[in-house]
Structure 1
Amino acid sequence: MTTDLIEIWKEIEDPDFHVAENQLHPSPKPFTVLNGSKLRSVPIPEKIDILGDGVISLGQLTTIIGQGGTGKSRVTMQIALSQILGWSMAGLKTHPEPLKHLLIGTENSIYRQKSEYQKMTQSLSPEQREQVDAHMFFHVVQEMDDAFIHLGSDDIRKKWVDTFEIVNPDVVYIDPYGEVHVGDINKDADVRHTLREITKVCRRFNPRTSIVIVHHGRTGRANIAQAVGWDKGNYALGSKALYSGARSQINIAPADPDDASRIIFSCGKSNDAKPFDPVGLKLDDTTMLYGIDAAFDLQAWKADVEGKRNQTNFTIAEALQAIQSGASNVRKIHQKLGGSEAGSKRSLERILAKAKSEGYFRFGKKGYFLTKKGKDVLAQVTEE
């Protein structure tokens, strides 16, 4: 009976149907496999580093991880601007030829985007500004539909594809990852699925588009300490599949609990190159750009976040006494008070900032000098 049915089916089957079906739903191809000889001889594109040595490269997935309010979005904007102008960023070199950068996400309002972009570019020459304007593209939440970028919808995926067809960026920054994620952010399978969807839409027209995912880090003193060291792979919220999927990871953490302008920029992962050393950065409120914080002390920072320093080390009175005795700057005051053995320079800077804000001393042509208020405080301390 079965043989008869097969023969009958062959007689009535339309061969054109099979051709059309195979065109619509072709059989999957096997994985690409090369033997050793072919691997040795196969031509591959030149590796192009966008930031540092493999920190961000074309065709690579990089993550930027940090707690809310630590300046992740501002850092990504500065990375893009620095690359276009050939500037270094956090001491890391950038690719010398300007590339196209697309910042896509819903983390920040158009008001903040415009304000910070204007400040970042205000000191540029007309030629530099024109170059940056031509190579930076911002997704802004201006219409209702601009606010929805979740990759779980066919309609929204099409909007992503259409946007990439228009801009065709070399680098795309997705900020924040949580807004595009499909499923449970704590499940490996859902994270891997989302990364595949991101890759498909971002590299639809350019297979070498660099993808930079901006994501939130774990909060709290113990988790902030994981920005560096053995536990740096545990820094991001959610499944470790995001860490596994990235070739490189940048960790951003607060450098000072009392000063939001100071952050630490460190390497959370580097699969393709030597990891870069942690560096302290300080925000310039006028330009909204981060510069190297020469006063950053990594060991003191580690001790602070690990809770190993439970005292201030220096007092305002001690700092004022050092100034009165002729120490006219931070370095001299630090030396006068015993140097690193007595406490970190960052700890002293916090004390000096507080003393200056309260009017105990001022800064003149010859350095620090005490005000009447500062002299009165010292006089009271001496009497006691």
Structure 2
Amino acid sequence: MRIKKIAVLGAGTMGAQIAAHFANASIPSLLLDLPGLAHAGLEKLKKLDPAPLFDTNLISLITPLEFEKDFSRLKEVDWIIEAIIEDLDAKRTLLKKIHPFLRPDTIVTSNTSGLPLSSIALEMPDEFKKRWLGTHFFNPPRYLKLLELIPTKETDPQVIREIADFGDRWLGKGIVYAKDTPNFIANRLGTFGGLYTLKVMMEDGYSIEEVDTLSGPIVGRPKTATFRLFDLVGLDVFGLVSKNLYHNAPDDEQRELFKTPKLLEELLNRKWYGNKSGQGFYRKVGSEILTLDPATMEYRPQKKAVFPSLEMVKPMEDPRERIANLIRSKDRAGSFLWRTLSALLVYA
């Protein structure tokens, strides 16, 4: 194994957790960010639920450092993962700054959620581009198996194979190869699905609890469903991802859907970003989890979603059977699932 030590640039929600997952595989890392932020990122790791580390003692494998001041230490690592804000100019600037400190064999990748990899590295030397690609981890990286690899036309095939093999064998990831198109595969479909679901909720008067009940385990998806997932990922991140898709996919037949909807815009204006800010579509107060009422923008106690068809399909173990029966039902559950699932499948 050639990759024995890595560096992560950016100690935010994803950067720190990516470093933690490498620590789970006994791979030491350097975690770099603006002054004080790498230490703060490590402190947050200790409080996250679900826990990003197998064992809290593994945090000792992560060394918190500072941008600029500690760039010289990048010579120690075999792989650098960029995980800063989803801003094209910021990413380009960072690559230029670290370039003088790189070994000629160091692999550099980006954890961007959907910015074009070729555009990020546009102004970098040809030799750099051979060792450059996208490695899109999903939140939380310890628990979500998917790892999208996004090579550019210039990426050396041997580098692609090396990262894919390491991701599979050492990080336990399921590797999916994506083209360098806006938002790649998962976020392209996920952004459409999320925004279309939000549209159906507002048009047809579903509550947040109803949507999460209908888009979670009952249809074979995780318990985070729709709005809990938004809060987990971060509404600021979701807003940037959808904006990126709107600007970079001018020929997409559903482009207008990717404009920031009014409800999401209001949440962003209030800085209600989800879990990272303490409130989003949900808010935890003591031991109680409250739900946002979009009509009033106030939080209220949760209300259990009740649909006759759900009781009918609960005994069915196969999610395919449950979905087939639900979309044929004549209640509001059937209407919701038909609208959202059919639209997603047509878009895919």
Whose radius of gyration is greater, 1 or 2?
1
- Give me the TM-score of the superposition, normalised by structure 2: 0.38
- TM-score, normalising length: structure 1: 0.36
Higher RCO (Cα < 8 Å, 6 or more apart): 1
